[in-house]
Structure 1
Amino acid sequence: MIKPFRIDIPQADLDDLTDRLSRTRWPNEVDDAGSDYGFPLARLTELAEYWRTGYDWREHEARLNELPHFTTEIEGQNIHFVHVRSANPDALALVLTHGWPGSFLEFLDMIEPLSRDFHLVIPSIPGYGFSGPTHERGWSAVRIARAWAELMRRLGYERYGAQGGDFGAGISLALGSVAPEQVVGVHVNYLPTRPVPDADLQLSETDEARLDKVRQLMANRPPYQALQALTPQTIGYALTDSPVGQLVWIAERFAQWTDPRSQISDERMLTNISLYWLTATAASSARLHHDAPRGLPLPCQAPVGVAVLPHDITQSVRPLAERLYDIRHWSELERGGHFAAMEVPELLAEDVREFFLTHVKDDAEAGARTGTAV
């Protein structure tokens, strides 16, 4: 059963957040530390004070409630999603999937341009936001993809596309694997390509530089990733109990992974962080790092489109990507980082539109359905 959903955070939870922020126990910092030891104290105290005294969750909650929210239960797990129908009844449907430490909020600025040509289904990953928390192990990218396939079946879509970045890219590609008869194409804005020592490929200097960056990351695993992959419950205690802990855990990712030219406001970032805090999903969202499959990706039979962002964590190497996927579209965007849907929504939306309406248009039109009226 699909049910309408409205965001309504209890006032007691907001008052508790304000109280906890007012009682933060701050660590000291060495002189002229900058970012050498981690996130700078001055910047964090500024963000925390604004979160406590200037940020208004109710204002953002009201705006979010202007969107059509729904929930349904799949495999015993609550699934929250936004469903925006295009004015074009024959439009293709797209599933847009976020990653960590993002949320469905990543796609807010893409809804208007994309809904001109597509029906949009924007779920929250199990364990994240209003879909969370999870209560059992095993919610891997493949299992989430199967849940998305069931969600789209319930909505009446027989043919659809998928798009995502970060974990959303892996889930979208997995959806193309588990529902090959339904998925007409997959567009991703994050596609890690690991070095293949025995591959007989001619790589450009740019490609080799990109692989060197990947090798460095593989040799020096980021601390957040190691903690969430190995002990997500342990780090979850700190993040669920301390709003400043949750704040810095995500704010540091935004600081490190975005294009310096990007204009993601503190308001937008704090809304995303508030979603994690108010739903107490720090631990359950981190579990995806633990449960995500390792090794070679699943084969994806659907055509694939790739948008490469210059300031992302890594940049894809096309000859390696083509060993795994049917690459029909490849774009090197001029700006943007890991949170592409928030940083460069206009560029990403246009790239998504070009891929689905140009490179998989015939496949999409052959089987598109309008879906049920929710």
Structure 2
Amino acid sequence: MDMQSDALARVQPSATMAITQLAQELKARGEDVIALSAGEPDFDTPEHVRAAGIAAINEGRTRYTYVDGITELKRAVAEKFRRDNGLDVGPEDCMISAGGKQVIFNALLATLNAGDEVVIPAPYWVSYPEIVRLAGAEPVIAPSSQAEGFKLTPAALEAAISPATKWLILNTPSNPSGAAYSAGELRALADVLRAHPQVHVLTDDIYETLVYDGRQFATIAQVAPDLAGRTITMNGVSKSHAMTGWRIGYCTGPRPILKAMTKLQGQSTTNPSSISQWAALAALEGPQDFLDDWRAAFQARRDLVVAGLNACDVLECLVPEGAFYVFPSCARALGMTSAGGRKIATDEDFVMALLAEHGVALVHGSAFGLAGHVRLSYAASEAELREAVTRIQAFCAGLG
């Protein structure tokens, strides 16, 4: 007897996690695998943040907190939004969840009904459409292309909106492409949204601190303040402070939506980890100067990887503006055969053949809604990346 609910049956497993788990299993069997499939910084959580978590344990701060987070952290989150993003918010306009993904999950499940639509630009993070489907609504994919820098254009947004549209999801810088919207590009999208007052915006800014080449980060409620009343701005400490396992995300937005999200969270996880909340407080209020070193390291890795991939005849890789991913096209490889005799009919075939023959784990672009590409995470050591690029070059050279 199948006990899976109809709602869950609409949802696909995470391709990112599946490839990462496969790579881990191969490593456990003693195979030489370089896993560039997962998206988390390889740096350690800063020492002062770790110390704050230990202090929270030693001081007995291990009990339930308010469902939506401790007051001290909500104050720090509000201050972060005011300082970094120019958003005029207070702690009562903020909530804390168990990771950025829970913020997204809460917002969508608390507001969506059957028949509602959510516009999702492609390529997209694998979880966006699946959470929409779990909520019983319909994801509407708004395509972009490499020629457009993997960014949603105003025309594509206009074409995707219908009377049933309730949300637009934006992610900048983007997973998987690394595309980062400029203030001007966001203003152009805001011009479209003003004509559709039923559409709310959920912006995933989790990679905010990782923008390169001197660019300035922008978020839509900052550049279009008149849309703040229908915008949820999500962020967290996972990428900015290498705290993926601590599971702390946060957001600001309209109080009625936050109240609904808190109601949902109260019947699911209740509060995020009390220990992690005190560590996140230290992350937001403590020194941020280490981020300059991290950005420089990631930018150097990006440049190494982009140059190495573009040296392959069958790959074409844009220079991403942020995050720690590249999203090269492998379209020229489709129809070829690998040196090991594997037919490369799809981007997934490319990924699986590369893993089997050269031990490098990437994720196929079709999992992110844009076939003919692959995603590589350069959140790894320079030595690992050099070796991975060498192996990818050897694999591509063997295609025929």
The two structures share one fold, judged by TM-score above 0.5: no
Query: What TM-score, normalized to structure 2?
Result: 0.31
Q: TM-score, normalised by structure 1?
A: 0.32
